[in-house]
């Protein structure tokens, strides 16, 4: 089963709201990712967690705060967002972690469509 | 830094025909992975096919196959017997091998339309 789930599917929030996006996988993958995707553009990497530790933060503004409570779950906490943060937020996972070999492909969830008003 | 180029922003194909999507990349590495992802209007990114650079044999997955030319740094995707469900944005992606090399470098994508 190569399934990554994301909730909610759609989210509309004001600039003063606090909300969270949730991602879950039960494939035993050791690495999990958050991407931001604007319309008609490829995904842009935001964060990478490997073995539940933050490995990569691509200079993302602090209004985005990731959290990895356990190996299957990844959250993205949102606070004081701007209208330009409206986008599709994709979660992905891959089998590799530190010292991993093979199976480097990432499996993506269906995404959360975020609109900031 | 690695770059991935998809020179065809849009393509179209008649149903049941064959179409080839182009992808070139630039890297100084000798070992890496290449992928084709499909993103239909439903927006989920779906892995279509992958290719390990150390393997000379071209990868095949049912109606999807690649033409991997390592020396030319070319990685094209051929879709045979095109179906309406193949209509989507296709992204070519590159990744270094080795632990800790997490970044996927994507091309800008090719929008494929399938004409009934």
The fraction of chain B above a pLDDT of 90, given in percent, is: 81
The torsion defined by the Cα of A13, A90, A75 and A72, in degrees rounded to 10, comes to 150
Q: Between chains, do A97 and B107 touch, taking CB under 8 Å as contact?
A: no
Of B37, B44, B47, the CB nearest to A111: B44
- Range of lowest pLDDT (A46-50, A53-57, B45-49, B65-69): A53-57
Whether pLDDT at A23 is above 60: yes
Give long-range contacts, CB 8 A cutoff, 24+ apart: A12-17.
Answer: A12/A114, A12/A115, A12/A116, A12/A117, A13/A78, A13/A81, A13/A114, A13/A115, A13/A116, A13/A117, A14/A116, A14/A117, A15/A80, A15/A81, A15/A82, A15/A83, A15/A116, A15/A117, A16/A80, A17/A78, A17/A79, A17/A81
Nearest CA in chain A to B98: A101
**Which pLDDT value is given to residue A58?**
84
**Which pLDDT value is given to residue A98?**
47
Which chain A residues contact residue B32 at CB under 8 A?
A: none
The torsion defined by the Cα of B74, B80, B82 and B86, in degrees rounded to 10, comes to -50
Nearest CA in chain B to A110: B44
Phi, then psi, of B84 in degrees rounded to 5: -60, -35
Of B95, B99, B108, the CB nearest to A100: B99
C-alpha Rg value of chain A to the nearest Å:
14
Instruction: Pick the most confident of A48-52, B35-39, B95-99.
Output: B35-39
What are the residues of chain A with a beta carbon less than 8 Å away from any beta carbon of chain B? Answer: 2, 31, 33, 40-43, 45, 48, 50, 55-56, 88, 90, 92, 94, 96-101, 104-111, 113
Q: State the average pLDDT for chain B.
A: 93
- Distance between CA B86 and CA B90 in Å, rounded? 10
Nearest C-alpha neighbor of B51 from the set B37, B73, B32, B24: B32
Q: What is the mean pLDDT of residues B57-82?
A: 96
Residue pLDDT, tens place only, A45-90: 999 998 888 888 888 999 999 999 998 999 999 999 999 999 999 9
* Chain A CB within 8 Å of residue B1 CB: no
Q: Between chains, do A90 and B91 touch, taking CB under 8 Å as contact?
A: no
Which chain B residues contact residue A110 at CB under 8 A?
A: 42-44
Number of H helices, E strands in chain A: 0, 11
**Which pLDDT value is given to residue A104?**
74
Per-residue confidence at B43, pLDDT binned at 50, 70, 90? Answer: confident
**DSSP code, position B54:** T
Q: What is the mean pLDDT of residues B57-78?
A: 95
Whether pLDDT at A97 is above 60: no
């Amino acid at each position: 089963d190569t399934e990554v789930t994301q909730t909610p599917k759609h989210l509309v929030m004001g600039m003063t709201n606090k909300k969270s996006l949730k991602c879950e996988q039960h494939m035993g993958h050791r690495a999990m990712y958050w991407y931001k995707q604007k319309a008609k553009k490829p995904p842009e990497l935001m964060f990478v967690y490997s073995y539940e530790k933050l490995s990569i933060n691509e200079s993302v503004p602090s209004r985005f705060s990731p959290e990895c409570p356990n190996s299957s779950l990844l959250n993205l906490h949102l606070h004081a967002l701007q209208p330009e943060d409206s986008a599709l937020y994709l979660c992905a996972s891959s089998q590799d972690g530190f010292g991993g070999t093979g199976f480097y492909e990432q499996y993506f969830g269906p995404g959360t469509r975020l609109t900031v008003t | 830094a690695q770059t991935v180029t998809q020179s065809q922003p849009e393509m179209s194909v008649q149903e049941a025909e064959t179409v080839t999507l182009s992808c070139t990349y630039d890297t100084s590495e000798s070992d890496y992975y290449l992928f084709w992802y499909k993103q239909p209007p439903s927006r989920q990114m779906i892995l279509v096919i992958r290719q390990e650079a150390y393997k000379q044999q071209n990868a095949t997955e049912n109606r999807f196959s690649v033409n991997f030319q390592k020396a030319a740094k070319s990685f094209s995707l051929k879709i045979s017997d095109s179906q309406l469900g193949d209509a989507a944005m296709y992204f070519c992606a590159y990744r270094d091998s080795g632990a800790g090399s997490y970044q996927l470098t994507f091309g800008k994508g090719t929008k494929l339309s399938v004409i009934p």
